[in-house]
Amino acid sequence: MVVEADVREALNTVMDPELQRSIVELGMVKDLQVSGKRVSFVLALTTLACPLREKIASEARAAIAGLDGDVDVAIELSEMTAAERTRLMESLQHGAAGQEEQPLAAHLNDIDKIIAVMSGKGGVGKSSVAAMLAVTLRKQGYRVGLLDADITGPSIPRMFDVSSRPGASPLGIIPAETSTGIKLVSINLLLPHDDDAVIWRGPLISGAIKQFWEDVFWGDLDYLILDLPPGTSDASLTVMQSIPLSGIVLVTSPQGLADMVVRKSAQMAVKLNVPILGLIENMSYAVCPKCGEQIEVFGPSVSAETAKVLGVPLLGRLPLDAELAVRCDSGRVESQPTEAFAPVVAQIVERVPETKCSPVFGHSH
């Protein structure tokens, strides 16, 4: 049985006769799907009037057949958008000019919305909120990527039961994919063992985050979700200074300490001119399985007051969910029902601005 990485590698040998670059490197292979003995993808040409389109498609089929002659290959011919053609031409001109070499990923990625999930302190369920945000958006039909920017405490791959290493191509790093098609990059996927400690100083951590942004071929995404480490450290600063965010979602819990610390994260976002989309209070209460009473395990909620002080909407109060914890621990977060989380996501989708913020390069506080 063929796998996506092998198919992509085979297609990387198919050259555009005019541009003399592989169709993978040129970003022409889109929506690649591999299921059993069937492979399908969209071949996005610079123009549908290309006289060599059938030749390219035929060579692509032959390359895949070289992996397994019984594979059924379905190729849909389409045309790049004007923006995609512009990015491609700019990247080709950039290479021809002999300027400093950059991965093609930086030119070819087309990501509509970029949302960072941030908390003031650890232990409030920030990563599970980021995971459920990605899962819910994916179930609603969006193209979703998930960047695990928590370099020293990565947990996202475990939640999705993903252990395959990201691939490599002339375009850059190819993300791993979850069972539902969420593109995923995490430092844990690059370590020999998933429990190996990442003992790095700030500059190395910042460099890894920049590489996950600049060197990864995310392709076309509707949403890229970033799971930030807790606090206002180098990692969070790097994200806000290097990546054009659409906004930040803050996560807290009912404890007074969490409330105090999340305000620090909010101040950081404000100082760096990053929009705050809203506040989520996680683990707000537990529901008694016998009588349905809501029990405030960590004390009374203060999230409404916090949101008011910060001048941001309270997106929702999420219950302490033992089943979600079990599914995250066992790598089955994508099987978690999303009904309770859907209203939160609906507000985020409604509030996310059309334009991204401009990164404040080299600026610090």
Q: What is the predicted pLDDT for the residue at 343?
A: 95
Q: Is the pLDDT of residue 49 over 80?
A: no
- Residue-wise pLDDT tens digits, 103-132: 556 667 889 999 999 987 777 889 999 999
Torsion 284-288-291-296 (CA) sign:
negative
Question: If you write DSSP's letter for every residue of 181-214 in order, what string do you get?
Answer: --EEEEGGGGSSSTT------HHHHHHHHHHHHH
Give CA–CA dist 237/337, Å, rounded: 33
Domain spans of the chain, in order of start: 4-101, 109-351
C-alpha closest to that of 80 among 71, 90, 95: 90
Torsion 352-222-105-160 (CA) sign:
positive
Q: Please report which confidence band the pLDDT of residue 170 belongs to, taking 50, 70 and 90 as the band edges.
A: low
Share of the chain above pLDDT 70, in %: 93
Q: Is the pLDDT of residue 101 over 60?
A: no
- Residue-wise pLDDT tens digits, 201-254: 778 888 888 888 888 988 889 999 999 988 777 778 888 888 999 999 999 988
Give CA–CA dist 127/310, Å, rounded: 22
Do 23 and 14 touch, CB atoms closer than 8 A?
A: yes
Query: What is the mean pLDDT of the segment spanning 323-332?
Result: 93
Directed axis angle between helix 342-351 and helix 126-139, to 10°?
80
Rg from Cα positions in the chain: 22
Q: Is the pLDDT of residue 364 over 70?
A: no
- Tell me, rounded to whole angstroms, the distance of Cα 244 from its chain centroid: 14
DSSP strand pairing (110-119 vs 286-287): unpaired
Q: Is 330 helix (H, G, I), strand (E, B) or coil?
A: coil
Q: What is the topology classification, in CATH, of domain 109-351?
A: Rossmann fold (3.40.50)
Give CA–CA dist 27/15, Å, rounded: 12
Whether 4-101 shares its CATH topology with 109-351 is answered: no
Q: What is the topology classification, in CATH, of domain 4-101?
A: GMP Synthetase; Chain A, domain 3 (3.30.300)
Which neighbouring-strand residues pair with 44? 78
Q: What is the predicted pLDDT for the residue at 362?
A: 43
DSSP strand pairing (172-174 vs 176-177): unpaired
Which neighbouring-strand residues pair with 52? none
DSSP strand pairing (294-295 vs 286-287): antiparallel
